[in-house]
Structure 1
Amino acid sequence: MLASLGQAEMPTIGSFIDAWAQGHAEAPAPRKRIRTRETLSIAIATVLARRGYHELRVAEIVELAQVSQAAFYDYFRDRHSAAAEVLTAFLDHLYPTPCIGSGSADQTLTDLFARWLAFCHANAGLVLAVAQLSDRSPDFARLAERRKREWFAAVIESLSRRFPRAAADLAGVEGSERTLALVASGLAQQVARHADKIQPDDIRTFAALIARVWVFAFDYTDPPMLRAVARPRSAFG
């Protein structure tokens, strides 16, 4: 699968599929069977990005990969398992270990979320495919939700180390972590859904908006606005 981008790095702002295909071309696996599986996986990702999970068809995958349908079923049980494997790999890059900068909380969060939203924008089709597969597969939904929760928890933990007093205040607000994650993930979904209308300046504006809400939560011990929207939830949304 696509090589890791590193534990301390946000994803490269660009196409996950293009980076994967480039790596596959420049450093092909030594065994033909592994190369064929990776070729199929890249084709699966490409069709998912173009059509979404609901319109994923084996015929289109094998045509793009230039292999037979028999070859596809030699590697994957069905289109569902193929989509799940590829989108699981994508999650590793959608939710990598966050890198928290050394500036102010506002600047640090704006930069972090700008890179994350830009990655979501560049890979909008796959972001939406994650949501579609989550609706159809409880197992994948739990995996995707866990990865998302872990990522936002890591962001908050990193901020807590930088701003320990603010973190102590935040801990006293019921449901605050879930609320903060809901704000960010909700905007990420909108960026993906309306990718064709989103401009680079819009992404920076959205990132600044997320940062402002998060900083608001960290700067005030008892913010009425946050208390009003912070309700216990079973998921980040």
Structure 2
Amino acid sequence: MQGKVIFIGAGPGDPELLTIKAAKVIEKADLIIYAGSLVNPQVLSGAKEGAEIHNSAQMNLDEIVQMMAESAQAGKLVARVHTGDPAIYGAIAEQIQYLKSEKVPYEIIPGVSSLFASAAALEAELTQPEVSQTVIITRPAGRTPKPEKEAIRLLAEHQATMCIFLGVHMIEKVVDELLTSYTRQTPVAVVQKASWEDEKIVRGTLEDIAHRVKDAGITKTALIVVGDVLGIDEVTPSKLYDAHFTHEYRKGEGE
């Protein structure tokens, strides 16, 4: 009987943020391959006795996909465990492509992204009325290139809420690009290891955030959140709960 590969979003770090569906797969999996450089090992605490567990940080792509395919073809259940949600910088497309070529069944279970864990840690609503109704998710160009039209300096022209992954190690360069459109007083926060026990938050503005991040010793595993939604003292209420607003489920007062 042919087995199956299940890609799992392990969440941002707190093992309690693993979905119930994902936890059930980990409990049953014969083979678990997890992104050890990012995934909290506690997420795997429910693995059954005798499960084969490998850290993909020590493996290359060929080794990973071949191990998954061979195990699934031998009738085993394989859990490929990624950090956060695998749809965002999860590098699953190339793995899926190989599994398809080998006709290996697979499934994807979404997870809680560090983006949302960071917003929770900041006690922030990223889409506040009359401030920003758009969230831009991006990263700076590094060893992985980006299309020029997705350069941070061009995305900054929207002045929307921006969430920047994989860029804290080059915070000065990121800030320089953001300053082509945002003001120097634009609020910024950097959240390292959101939801972990050693989570760290640094707040500032585009004027001083680079120095604050350097002083805090943050060089990796962090998300940069930029935008005026972080600095609002007086919130504009949404229309949804306005007593005078009529919608499908409620008639507004005075109408």
TM-score (norm 2): 0.27
**Which one has the largest radius of gyration?**
2
TM-score (norm 1): 0.29
More helix by share: 1
Higher relative contact order (CA 8 A, sep 6+): 1
